[in-house]
Structure 1
Amino acid sequence: MDPQCERQADDGHPIVVDYGGTLLWSHRTQNIIFSGTFWGALLVIGPSMLIWHRCSPRLILLVAMISYVVVTFATPFLALHFGPIAVFSARVIMGFGEGFVVPSFNALISNWFPVEERSTALAVYTTGNQLAGAIGNPLAAALCASPFGWPGVFYSIGQFQQFIIIIYYFITAFTIIIIYHYFLLLLLKLQGV
């Protein structure tokens, strides 16, 4: 047991909080696995800014989201059959996708939103991170305690991600729709810009 996280009962024996799962990985191993996402993002954040200048941010986000879904669904299989190194590698791949998300969202916001609405669009985007933590952690805990166990967390999130990808695919466009473009030009003329 990690001495930093160890708690002791009144009789001096350590209290072990077991989640009842099948993977008994040390805290150090878990920390290394979680860091994989950040290492992947760190490796591609520079090149991603060059790539989104040449490719559609919509397409880049779509590919990044698909990589998230594949890794999310594959994680339980990789963990059970190949161990922590495979899960770390999968998290690095997830980080590659994440490294493209921030520059792509910034490009979408700066290209598609009027100047006075950009701060609101950015606030909505960044609020999603806080909501994911606030809603995701209790939901993950409930799923871990359910008969589905910890793999249920990954499968549920993967299904939700698929749903978001389908919505994203059908409600976004590669280019501004001509009518919307003329509407924006008219709006700018009316505002005297």
Structure 2
Amino acid sequence: MTDGPMNHLQMLVGDGNLYICRVKNIFKPAYTGNRWLNGDKAYSIKYGYDWLQGQHEPVPWHYRVWNSLNIFKHSFIYSLDGVLERLKTRDHLFRAGACQQNSCLLCGVGEDSCLHLVFSCTSSSRICQQIMLWLGIKVSSYENVFITWKKWGRWFKSKKLQKVSYAVLAALVYHIWMSRNYTLWNDAVNSQSGL
């Protein structure tokens, strides 16, 4: 979380009591006279919200993940898996002692981790190569989802085609994750053609 006024506001909302006077006191340092912050513009809700959020570090992958053509659930899983590595895979459970095995559910070779699913799983690499052939992109033998992610941005010159390719890539990561979960919960391997 960011430091600053947003933490105070979350504490107020968290206990169920949002007092207008307290919120007013949070905004007081930024609002003087009839002007907002340094006095060059009038207050608006947008400026107030931006001020409450605080400073955020820009990330280079946001336009790929939060693409306007992506379906939200695809973007969400894509951000957790491919970018932030926060999906709950068996390697996390194995380290916590909650499961006995940590092998990949799709290929059975590597450990079941976000890095393995995106970088080195043979099953996800084969699926990625098939989709690249379908899209007409030159395929090499070492293709994986991460290399593809960087490559597709350079391959397509049109912004519209880049957005479509990133939406396809987000869907690919989502369906790889769903196939992995299907294998885990149903004790059955989902075929690559089923993806």
Q: TM-score, normalised by structure 1?
A: 0.31
Q: Which structure's relative contact order is higher, taking Cα pairs within 8 Å and 6+ residues apart?
A: 1
Rg: which structure is higher?
2
Q: Select the structure that is richer in helix.
A: 1
Question: What's the TM-score once normalised by structure 2's chain length?
Answer: 0.31
